Amino acid sequence: MSTVDMNTGAAPTGGAGPRRRGSVVPPVSGCVLLTLVLFALFAPFLAPHPANAPIGVPYAMPGDVGVLGTDYLGRDLLSRILAGGRSLVLVAAACTFTAGLLGTALGLMAGYRRGLVDAVIMRVVDLLLILPPLVVLLVLTSGAERGPRMLIPVIMISASPYVARVVRTATLDVARSSYVEAAVLRGEKARAILVREILPNVAGPVLAITGLLMIYAIFVVASASFLGVGIQPPAADWSLMIKEGMPAITLNAWPVIFPAACIVVLAVAVNIFAEGLHRRIAGGRAGRRGA
């Protein structure tokens, strides 16, 4: 489940060669991503039909009824596709934000305070990392209410350990550096040191891991909805559409193929963007030091 490899934080490093390429990728993929997100948010207004109203026979082939055909209840596939990205994108963005914030805070504390605070935080993190993220998600949702709002805290808990670990490593590194020691020797307060000296210098790793977090959030939100613990029917949602279309896939695969293609495009765009971001940060650091 977590091929979204937040385990190392340092996902595939870019080559030495494609540095020039790497600098083009983030802006371009960023624009693609932004377009996709805007599309997901505003496309529902373009829908020709209400997303939840039957318009014809179920399982109509593309072109027979509506442009893309109908789903198992005879609802317009095109309208549902246009509406089906919004909650995924919104929930994933909220998860990225909250998990990033919590993970960064925990990582900073663990890395700077060390000692007991570090030990406690890291043991909890280790504990959450034993199980695959999706299983953690299932455990946390099994007793709770279901729905997109519940997903946000649940994913915040299951994803922040990965962020915390990366941020902690970066913080440990920065905290050992001479400029932080110089601040200690000025008698500066811990808060001032964290804000002035450490935070600006772990911003790179935080940004890089946030990219991975975006991938992870889309992944988990989509999978959770598919498993029935995320976005709930009758909402129009790409994952749910796949789930609903699977039983009749040998009859008509289009209700599955269209939403699947949407998720693929979104996921690949996020991935390329995150990798470009990561490479740029890694490359930028190396370049700066070499100069």
Partner 1 sequence: MGRAVTAFLARRLTTSVVMLFALSVVVFAAIEVLPGDAAIYAIAGQNPTAELLEQTRHQLGLDRSAPERYFSWLLGILRGDFGQSALTGQSVSGVVGDRVGNTVALGSLTILFMIPLALALGVFGGTREGRRADRTTSALILAVVAVPEFVLAAALTALFSFGLHWLPATSLFPTEDSPLLHPEVLVLPVLTLVLFSASGASRQVRAGVADVMRSRYVEMARLKGLPERRVVLRHVIPNSIAPSLQILASSIGVVTGGSVIVETVFSYPGLGSALATAVTTRDFPLVEGVVMLLATTLLLAYTAADLAVLLLTPKLRTTS
Partner 2 sequence: MSTPLVVEGLRVADHAGRVIVEDVSFSIAAGQSVGIVGESGSGKTTMALALLGWARNGVRLVAGSVQVSGVELVGRPEEAVRKARGRLVSYVPQAPAAALNPSMRVGRQVAETVVGLSPDERAERVRQTFELVELPSDAEFQRRYPHELSGGQQQRVGLAMALVNRPRVLVLDEPTTGLDVITQEAVLAEVDRLRAELAIAVVSISHDLALVAKHTERVIVMHNGRMVEQGDSHTVLANPEHPYTRSLVAAVVDHRAAAESRVADGTRPESGTAARERPPLLSVRDLHAGHGTRRGRVVAAEGITFELRAGECLAVVGQSGSGKTTIARSVVGLHQPDRGSILLDGAPLASRADRRSRDQLRRVQYVFQDPFASLNPRRTVLDSVVRPLGVFKGVRGAEAEDQARRLLDRVRLRPELADAFPGELSGGECQRVAIARALAAAPDLLVCDEITSALDVSVQSSVLDLVNELRRDLGLALLFISHDLGVVSTVAEHVLVLERGQCREFGPVHDVLGTPGHEYTRRLVAAAPSLSAALVRAVPAAPGPGAADITEVLQ
Under the rule (CB under 8 A), what is the footprint of partner 2? 16-17, 177-179, 181-182, 184-188, 196-197, 200-201, 288-289, 291
Selection from partner 2, partner 1, none that 116 binds (CB < 5 to 8 A by kind) is none
By C-beta, is 50 or 228 nearer to partner 1?
228
CA angle 203, 206, 209 (to 5 degrees): 150
Selection from partner 1, partner 2, none that 178 binds (CB < 5 to 8 A by kind) is partner 2
**Whole-angstrom distance, CA of residue 242 vs CA of residue 256:** 5
Outline where 115-230 has alpha helix (H): 115-130, 133-142, 148-175, 178-185, 190-192, 199-227
By C-beta, is 120 or 190 nearer to partner 2?
190
Q: Tokens 């293609």 correspond to what residue?
A: 261
**Whole-angstrom distance, CA of residue 251 vs CA of residue 39:** 30
Least distance CB 96 / partner 2 (angstroms): 24
Least distance CB 93 / partner 2 (angstroms): 27
Selection from partner 1, partner 2, none that 272 binds (CB < 5 to 8 A by kind) is partner 1
Least distance CB 250 / partner 1 (angstroms): 5
Least distance CB 235 / partner 1 (angstroms): 17
Residues that bind partner 1 (CB under 8 A): 1-5, 7-8, 10-13, 15-18, 123, 126-127, 130-135, 138-145, 215, 218-219, 222-223, 226-229, 239, 242-243, 245-246, 249-250, 252-253, 256-257, 260, 263-264, 267-268, 270-272, 275
Both structure tokens of 49: 């039909």
**Whole-angstrom distance, CA of residue 170 vs CA of residue 164:** 10
**Whole-angstrom distance, CA of residue 52 vs CA of residue 186:** 65
Selection from partner 1, partner 2, none that 182 binds (CB < 5 to 8 A by kind) is partner 2
By C-beta, is 5 or 173 nearer to partner 2?
173
By C-beta, is 52 or 201 nearer to partner 2?
201
CA 229 to chain centroid: 17
**Whole-angstrom distance, CA of residue 273 vs CA of residue 29:** 5
Least distance CB 181 / partner 1 (angstroms): 29
50: left (phi over 0), alpha (psi -120 to 50) or beta: beta
Selection from partner 2, partner 1, none that 70 binds (CB < 5 to 8 A by kind) is none
Q: Tokens 């971001």 correspond to what residue?
A: 277
**Whole-angstrom distance, CA of residue 274 vs CA of residue 66:** 36
